[in-house]
Amino acid sequence: MHSGGGSGRKELPETAAAIRKGPWMAEEDEVLMDFVKKHGPRDWSSIRSKGLLPRTGKSCRLRWVNKLKPDLKTGCKFSAEEERIVIDLQARFGNKWARIATCLPGRTDNDVKNFWSTRQKRLARLLQTALPVRSQRRQGKAPMTAEVPNFEPIVTSCALLPYTLPCPDLIPFTEQYSNGQCSHVPYIEDPDSAKTLHMLNLDATALLIEPAIANSEICL
């Protein structure tokens, strides 16, 4: 065990000291590709034991899965459809990135994970920016990005109000929607679909805070 882990603080055994870490070089990629061509994407640890590369099996596997595997959509942003799928599946399965990635051809679990993480940060920043100043003063400080909670999937029986806001200052706006006071509420016909919708849908978020911004209740 612990083949890829280890604290790294104690003196490393000689074998471990020979292990290379960090960015991969083109020559290493070539060796790895060649290995997979000959043996298939398995038996990763033998790459090191055979002296082909000074990398751990885990490192080799990760490199193959995330960068070298054919048909990967590298350097290509998530489409709106992919985004929708990730949001939906994350609401259903939680942070099961590998599982979600199987539904997105050409995307790896790392891609999905990074996409979601970026999205979380963007949303956190959006909400933080939109907080009324008086609320921040009441709390004594503006919340740090890292303090924004990891939002749970939104579950509500009201199809008219598929979203719940984690920020108490914004809840009055959700009540507006549930009262039908707002004309541009996103209406979801299928209650089950509504249950799976997630607050992290940025479009929906923007839609929710938009009236508040217009009313100058939110200080940007």
Partner DNA sequence: AAGTGATTCAACCGCCTGCGC
Partner DNA sequence: AGCGCAGGCGGTTGAATCACT
79 binds DNA (CB under 7 A): no
CA-based max dimension of the chain: 70
- Single out the residue of 97, 89, 102 nearest to residue 113, CA to CA: 97
Q: Is 35 in the site for DNA (CB under 7 A)?
A: no
* Window 115 to 134, contacts with DNA (CB under 7 A): 115, 117-118, 121-122, 125
**Residue 69 in contact with DNA, rule: CB under 7 A:** no
Q: How far is the CB of 57 from DNA (least distance, A)?
A: 3
**Residue 24 interacts with DNA (CB under 7 A): yes or no:** yes
Q: What is the CA radius of gyration of the chain?
A: 23
For DNA, the closer of residues 30 and 175 by Cβ is 30
| 32, 36, 53, 61: residue in contact with DNA (rule CB under 7 A) | 61
Among 69, 113, 188, 212, interactor with DNA by CB under 7 A: 113
What separation in angstroms does the CA of 95 have from each of 72, 106, 166, 167, 184? 21, 19, 19, 22, 31
What is the closest distance, in whole angstroms, from the C-beta atom of residue 215 to DNA in the complex? 24
Under a CB-based contact definition with an 8 Å cutoff, are residues 100 and 93 in contact?
Answer: yes
Kindly state whether residue 8 participates in binding DNA, applying the rule CB under 7 A. yes
Binding to DNA in span 146-185, by CB under 7 A: none
In terms of Cβ atoms closer than 10 Å to its own Cβ (0-12, 13-18, 19+), residue 7 is: exposed
